[in-house]
A and B are shown apart, each in its own frame.
Chain A
């Protein structure tokens, strides 16, 4: 029954414990993985967002430093323009004095250019060798505006020839030969000769506010690292990470780095390199700020770029502030590692806990299973000792109660069974006793009745007397027959049946005596016994107890006599089959219904319609025959065609089976 219960296990584990652990693990892994991914993403995004915010802020600070530098130039010019020496010298066109004075101011305030222009726009004096003068600067936008009394300052592109006018060194300072840069936008040019300058121009006014001239000056940004380094120092406080500056700033002239503290691989300032294509498109072409990670020279930065415009509002370059991405990515990696570390530790902890929890759950179940096995084996004294108050505890209590009930029931059953066996034994003993006791008087009765019938004791007076004696004799015979069957049963059921097997001639020792005994009965019912295959039958031998074998034949012939058709035939025969002999007793008559063929061998079996008094049997003959045949290792069965014949067949082994 148990083998039929197939557990549809999808998990490849046999024990409840492993299944639970596996389920726990699955849940924790799924949950942990999901939360880790979400957490890592969130943390990563937050870190990057924070970095970008900081960089945006840093660019703003950079702009302030840049603008402050520009205003300082303007302030210097403004103050110089008001110097007492300048205006008279201007009036007097004393260029020598102007040149000397301006050069002092230029050097003192660290300007690259400081030039004075008359009110018509012609250069009066320059403060730098070779001190060229006389050229027209009135078409310079700043100078033009200053002549109109404006004070202006801005970043401007200065072409090479103009730089040359201000000083040959400036041409060399401004000259840039592009260094091939990965990710940069392709340009046909390979060099750049112009320069980018922080430039201011202020009008020089007399007491009546008339314009006497213009003072302009500035600082060339190319290869001038003052601003970018100041930005680095002030904004990024000079922080370093793994030997690299974390904070960097750059000034681009168009897309070329002209002033920077971003280092190339050789550790030199990466001037003459160019900006990445994405930034080029966004900032230079579209004039929008760029805040994102960017590949700067040869490292990733979180960067902010904004366009630098000249006085006319045209984009001429870019101001950049950026911070190395590596610290942030490292931070993010650390966070991720920590996350997974924590998740792993959690997993281990959960496994550990799961182990104990599942153990505490499954152990009682395991004990219960073991107890079930013990009890299934028939030991009802076993008690499950589980103290928990949960369902398993309830189960254990119920189980114990069930065991007790079972035990009580089994004991009761045992007692009842013992009682029944006693009763049965008593019954059999009684049957044995009664039949045995009946046997003797029946023998006496039968003998006297025969003597009466034969008129050995004197003639019977009337036919009625003869009739009475004959009927009595028939009934006594039936009784004796019945008694014999009960005596057989008593022997069989009490287990006292001894089987003394020997090699016997079946015909001579079993069938022939029976036929001889039943001769009178056969004659009375005008039935004929036909021996089939007689030659072989007479020689047939089997290993059997001859006395018991005779009972079998007697019962089967008796059965055929009783149920066979009056005046019909009885066929007795045998067939030699491999390893065994098959015997059969077949009679003509009503036969047996197909459904009752097996039933006829049951104890006290009676067929319906078996109503005729003189035919009523004990229901023991075939049963006794069956028990005996089976004890000999043979089989017995019945075949029949209803209304025509019934055939009883049995087998006996030819050789003793040695077991």
Chain B
């Protein structure tokens, strides 16, 4: 599986995680976590190339997880794609900051997630990341 970029998906909804995994695993190596804590731990352990992070989660929500990841030098440079729900109004994308919440994510994608768009976004993030890595 070498050569394939590693993407960590953090979401509490197993079915959604399953769907996201299926969408992503044709292009990337996918690892999953089901809550914020687990996600942060896996990020530190596995060092993924990109992280797909859900906002609404039990244990530790996306905001806290994102902050922790960005504060940690090991993971600070890993690009994060935030999944936002319709419950946070509609269609929050890269054009808007989340109201009242400072969040240092590289991109946003709104639910419901179009798997093709997700793949496109992740690919874009990784490509933008490459020159800085090499």
Contact = CB atoms under 8 A, between A and B. Distances in A.
A in complex with B: yes
Interface of A: 436, 439-444, 446-448, 450-451, 454, 456-457, 480, 483-484, 487-488, 491, 498, 500, 508-509, 512-514, 517, 546-548, 550-551, 554
B86 interface: yes
B95 A451 contact: no
Given A454-B116, A548-B89, 9 more contacts: A439-B85, A439-B86, A440-B85, A443-B113, A444-B18, A447-B20, A480-B112, A491-B89, A546-B96
B26 interface: yes
A444 B86 contact: no
Contacts of A517: 91
Nearest to A488: B90
A446 B19 CA distance: 10
Contacts of B115: 447, 450-451, 454, 456
A644 B110 CA distance: 36
A487 B15 contact: no
Contact of B95 (A442, A508, A554): A508
B2 interface: no
B93 A447 contact: no
B86 to A, nearest CB: 5
A511 to B, nearest CB: 11
A436 B87 contact: yes
B90 A443 contact: no
Nearest to A440: B13
A461 to B, nearest CB: 19
The A interface is mostly helix, strand or loop, or mixed, namely helix
A500 B99 contact: yes
28 contacts: A436-B87, A440-B16, A441-B15, A442-B112, A443-B112, A444-B16, A446-B112, A447-B16, A447-B19, A447-B114, A448-B19, A456-B26, A456-B115, A480-B112, A484-B86, A487-B90, A498-B99, A509-B96, A512-B95, A513-B95, A514-B91, A546-B96, A547-B90, A548-B89, A550-B91, A551-B89, A551-B90, A554-B90
B96 A547 contact: yes
Contacts of B22: 448, 451, 456-457
Given A442-B112, A509-B96, A447 B23 contact: yes
Interface in B48-96: 85-87, 89-93, 95-96
B113 A487 contact: no
Top-8 shortest CB links A-B: A443-B112, A447-B19, A444-B15, A446-B112, A547-B89, A443-B111, A447-B115, A444-B16
B23 to A, nearest CB: 6
Interface of B, helix, strand, loop or mixed by DSSP: loop
A546 to B, nearest CB: 6
B114 A446 contact: yes
Interface of B: 13, 15-16, 18-20, 22-23, 26, 85-87, 89-93, 95-96, 99-100, 111-116
Contacts of A443: 16, 111-113
Contact of B92 (A444, A448, A480, A547): A547
A447 B19 CA distance: 6
A554 B16 contact: no
Contacts of B86: 439, 483-484, 487
Contacts of B96: 509, 546-547
A484 to B, nearest CB: 5
A621 to B, nearest CB: 12
A439 B111 contact: yes
A188 to B, nearest CB: 133
A484 B16 CA distance: 19
A450 B114 contact: yes
Contacts of A554: 90-91
A397 to B, nearest CB: 59
Q: Which of B18, B93, B99, B111 has the most C-beta atoms of chain A within 10 angstroms of its own C-beta? A: B111
A156 B92 CA distance: 148
A444 B16 CA distance: 5
B91 to A, nearest CB: 6
Contacts of B95: 508-509, 512-513
Nearest to A444: B15
